[in-house]
Homo-oligomer: A and B are copies of this chain.
Amino acid sequence: MNLRRLAETLNLSQTTVSRALNGYSDVSEATRLRVQKAATLHNYRPSMRAKSLATGRAMTIGHIIPVTSRHEMVNPVFGDFIAGAGETYSAQGYDMLLKLVPDGDEERVYRDLKSRGTVDGIIIHGPRMDDSRIPLLKEIGLPFVVHGRASDVEDGYSWLDVNNKSAFERATKFLIDLGHTRIALINGLENMDFAHRRRNGYVHALSDAQITIDPTLMRSEEMTEVYGYRSTQELLALPAPPTAFLTSSMMVAIGVRRALEDTALKMGRDVSVITHDDDLSYLKNGEGVPIFTATRSSVRDAGRECADMLLKRIKDPTLPPFTRLLEVDLTLGRSTGPAPIKG
């Protein structure tokens, strides 16, 4: 059933039926009711294709996932983020388009998206420090919101970010207060902006406490369980091993724990661990008392809010960019304790 046939059935013009269904005021309540009845009766749903051609809006938001040969953004965090954003979209009648884009193809894809009109806006994932996508999107005029920030890009764009620096600064300071001085940082890839900020927070806290920075205690890779495991093994094999670990994700922390359990060291007694926790639905930080002491911030909430920001800007493009900095909770778990007394 399409609009024309529905209009014929009702002995009305397409115009009237369309306006009745879309809630315009220049149609009497009586006929509006008639139209609505007939629409549900005949199971009429307007064709998205035609509608978006006529209106110029796709009612679709794009999520572009960079696919490097070696590193994937399709990670556990992404799933929860999408879930959050999806809630917002469903509530407001938007669809979500997912696109995996090989590195280097990005410019072409964004321009495509704009000129082919497949989406009304996009959300940028995993910004790097100097992310070329931001000026690019500004240039081509496609509304966007960044999940994270790009340090080297001057302002003038919308973003939502966790306060990574303060989070890791607080976590580091917490470990220092417990007496730790050799603190390892098992970070994400540091060309990622968030990882860079976390390192800054870590370094800052150490400097504040007059502790010299030891580069051998810092790692930077993609955040997998195996990476956490391997790094810990290597770090523990050092002449002066760390007594505390700061990790960038639950997944990595689980790897750290696995490595510790291969040794005689007990987590929370001999070695302390703090992780950042994205509060993923299927990977909770324990029940009751958390497994790990953690800086926590729900990535699902972030998704919901990013989507919200984007839709607002699409509705009213004259609005100035939104920015939102989320502070983390530092929740105490079983994985931290005072630094062991030197033997």
Contacts and interface: CB of A to CB of B under 8 A. Distances in A.
Interface of A: 1, 43-50, 52-53, 58, 60, 63, 65, 67, 72, 74-76, 78-80, 82-83, 86-87, 89-90, 95-102, 111-112, 115-118, 222-226, 229-230, 251, 254, 257-258, 261, 281-284, 286-287, 291
A9 to B, nearest CB: 16
Nearest to A83: B74
Given A74-B80, A226-B286, A284-B225, A90 B86 contact: no
A75 B251 contact: no
A66 to B, nearest CB: 12
- Overall SS of chain A's interface: mixed
Contacts of A75: 79, 281-282
Q: In the A-B complex, list the 3 residue pairs whose CB atoms are closest, starting with the nearest.
A: A86-B100, A74-B83, A49-B53
Please state the number of chain copies in the assembly.
2
Given A74-B82, A116-B45, A222 B282 contact: yes
A255 to B, nearest CB: 10
A50 B48 contact: no
Contacts of A287: 226, 230
Given A96-B97, A118-B95, A281 B46 contact: no
